[in-house]
Structure 1
Amino acid sequence: MSSERTGGGAAASAAVLPSPASNKELYLLGISFCVLWSSAFIAAKFGLTAAPPLAQLTIRFLFAGALLWAGMIVMGKKWPVARRDVVTGITLGVLNNSAYLGLFFIAMQTITAGMAALIAALTPLATVFLAQPLLGERVSRRSLLGVALGLAGAGIVLRDRVGTGIDDPTGIALGFIAMLCLTSGTILYRKRGSHTDPFVMNTIQTIASGLVLIPFSLLMEDWGTIQFNATFFMAVAYLAIMVSVIALLIWFRMIRIAGASRASAFHFLNPGLGMLFAFLILGEPVSAIDLVGLLPIVIGIILVTWVPGGGKKV
């Protein structure tokens, strides 16, 4: 991975996007990320049967942070020397983990895992419009069309589910706030953190997010209600290892090689995968409208993420 600094203003952040040769890696990483990210909503649902949401997240992040720290020691990695990089990592922990997942886990007490995945899939819309003024990333009409199609598909599903009363409006509102936190974290990483070793950056943000959640969890929840059973340990282990470690390393790599706009477009795939997993594992309903809404979503992802053979910017 290149160590070239990318976050020094519009000129630095408007670097040429990857060539078509990177499409294969991006799609492989993107699909892998979406499978792990979507499955997290299912594991979280299981975990919520054994522990309050913030307590589950706190234990998960502290466990994942310990694993990452141990990995740093084994691989001989060092903490960042620049204070700015440490502050960036801590801020990413608050945005990407504490706020984003904390709000989502609270919301998932009243909304389905499929709806949670759908709201998270709207991240590209906010990211594309913020990436242009804040990062200097050029957004073509083709990319905007892709975002519009993805949003339309998500809207079809959202309208159907809200209209039938499957999901609670308050939970949906919390989910939207959480989505905006993830969008902010994506922009911040591209602007100020992509030059740093992603493993080290993930370690900082994971430990920070666990520490930040401790007081909130202790004040708002009763840790005496935690059931330390097989469901709890399996959920925490899966979320910590497969999502907080592996999925987030993949995510940082995607942003680094493709830019915030293109990487975020893969979130549009999460509603379909999230609903599929929720249907197969949790028995949550999937309607014909849900399936119809997935078609423009898939087309939108292709339009936003594919680099043409001419090597143009998107």
Structure 2
Amino acid sequence: MRGDGRQLVIDTGQEPEADGLDVHPDREAEVEDEASTEAPTVESIIGVVRPIGGDGAPSSTPTGQEQIVDGFSDCPRRRLRKRLHAMKRDADGLFLTLTYHETDPTPEECKADLDRFWKRLERKFSGISTIWKMEPQDRGVPHFHLILYGQSFIGAPLLSKIWHEVTDETSHQHRKSGVDVEERSVNEDGKLQAYMAGYMAETYDKWPGAEPGDPWAETGRWWGCKGRKNLPWAEWDDSRIYLEQHEAQAIIRQLLTEWEVDLPDRVVPPSLCICTRGDPQDWIDEHLPV
């Protein structure tokens, strides 16, 4: 498990038999079916709570024509939530919102604005990183939410000035308040992760109001990371909790039944990555018979 984050993995040591199934509970904890990329080991044969994917760093994501995105569905929402809860709960950070006031950018233009904004921040503040999320405003124009790691304070006037300069906005109002820095948003026990999760409850099959041929009919990615190498990943703990394989399978089956996940008969995912609301050890003490 990630003791400094909010993740643990229940693994049966089996080969994947349910690839492509989108498994999760619709509640505070997130469960996602994920097959281990590690070679089978003696330990994995008996079933174990253990990490998946080495240090947890994500693989590269296709861009451009290789990945056409037209909405924000349950699957990317859960991947974003999983990424957030893989971060250290005590990592310094800020919660920012970048807005547009008068302009109505295309998906490509707003992503370019975000990229220029981030490059200017990187030049001023070394070692920073961010997880960002795009959302529609009421008038259909995008805005961005960011968890910015590596700084516990950056003045809102400076951030607004930079954001204003990289957009096509001309109003004094935007120059003054185009960026909102939430009060008391310094990360404490994962507060930023939980706070940003509050903005992810709603999913979108398509951009609100977008019709075929509209620039927003293909939105591109709704979330991502910048300064990836500096993200404060919580390390996987070395300690492992060993279970008999049938015990691990029974626990997974019980959780999926409790969370009312609809799976084909006799199909049990070989592993579940669980993002807990509180300390993962508390979750283990409550749910695992060990």
User: What is the TM-score of this pair, normalised by structure 1?
Assistant: 0.22
Q: In terms of Rg, which structure is larger?
A: 2
Name the one with the larger helix percent. Answer: 1
User: What is the TM-score of this pair, normalised by structure 2?
Assistant: 0.23
